[in-house]
Structure 1
Amino acid sequence: MRKGPLCLLLVTLSMVAPAHGEDNAEGGNSTPLSLSAGTQIAELQQRLRVSEQQREELNKQLQNTDGERESAQLGRLRQENQRLKLQLKETQTSNPLPRLLTDQQQWFVIGAGVALSALLCGIFASGATRKRRQWLN
């Protein structure tokens, strides 16, 4: 290996290392790290308290607006409910249709219809021609 590039590399490294070390020493603050961190912690805690107070105020405002919105909607629903009740009463009084059958009679008619449809389905399914030998088997 040639000595030229090796020497150039060593000279470059020796110049960079002290310059890098001097930057770190000169660039630092005059206060120790623990005092700086303590003030930052105190500042962050203060900001946290302020943020918490703002969050609580916003939650209260949100609950108030939700309550107002719900109460307005509740009032509208009550008015609509009363209007519908009145409309139902008017409809019932103006149109009194007498019931033809009671509930028990309606169930009897439904049962009779089901039995009749089952009988017809049975007749059509078995066929119209019945032979006597079918019964003998």
Structure 2
Amino acid sequence: MRKGPLCLMCLTLLVVAPAHGEDSAPGGSSTPLSLSAGSQINELQQRLKASEQQREELNKQLQNADSERESAQLSRLRQENQRLKLQLKEAQASTSPRLLTDQQQWFVTGGGVALIALLCGIFASGASRKRRQWLN
């Protein structure tokens, strides 16, 4: 690209850009715009206050509804908890109490096995052996 058309294009943009940026008022005076803007601002501020009040009221209603729903759910959960506690007590009462714990049961089983092994050893050695054999 040649430098000539590039400079010409930049110069045209510099001249045309400020012309597009200027806005002319139709009446030539800016006072009616400021008065109408002031009334619009007041109106918008009043609408903002009204909407904030509505928002606060809706938040209160929402909190009330949430607390009512939570209280109903809480009471349901408490009733279910009581029912489950009652079922647990009934289940514990219906089962027979265990005489031995698991650890005690293993101890008794081990003792029984040791006693059986001792008796088998005595009977397997034979009763016909004499005491003399022990001395040799």
Corresponding residue for residue 54 of structure 1: 54
Structure 1 alignment gaps of length 5 or more: 1-23, 110-137
Corresponding residue for residue 93 of structure 2: 93
Alignment pair present for 1:45 and 2:16:
no
Corresponding residue for residue 26 of structure 2: 25
Q: Which residue identity lines up with residue 25 of structure 1 in the other structure?
A: P
Equivalence map 1:120-135=2 (5 Å): none
Alignment pair present for 1:36 and 2:36:
yes
Corresponding residue for residue 8 of structure 2: none
Structure 2 alignment gaps of length 5 or more: 1-24, 108-136
Q: Which residue identity lines up with residue 85 of structure 1 in the other structure?
A: K
TM-score w.r.t. the length of structure 1 is 0.53
Corresponding residue for residue 72 of structure 1: 72
Distance 1:43 1:97 in 2: 81
Q: Taking every aligned residue pair, what percent have the same amino acid on both sides?
A: 73
Q: Secondary structure at the match of 1:97?
A: coil
Runs of 4+ in 1 over 2 A off after TM superposition: 28-31, 99-102
Give, in angstroms, the shift of residue 32 of structure 1. Answer: 1.5
Corresponding residue for residue 130 of structure 1: none
Distance 1:72 1:99 in 2: 45
Q: CA RMSD in A?
A: 3.0
Give, in angstroms, the shift of residue 94 of structure 1. Answer: 1.1
Distance 2:64 2:70 in 1: 10
Q: Which residue identity lines up with residue 97 of structure 2 in the other structure?
A: L
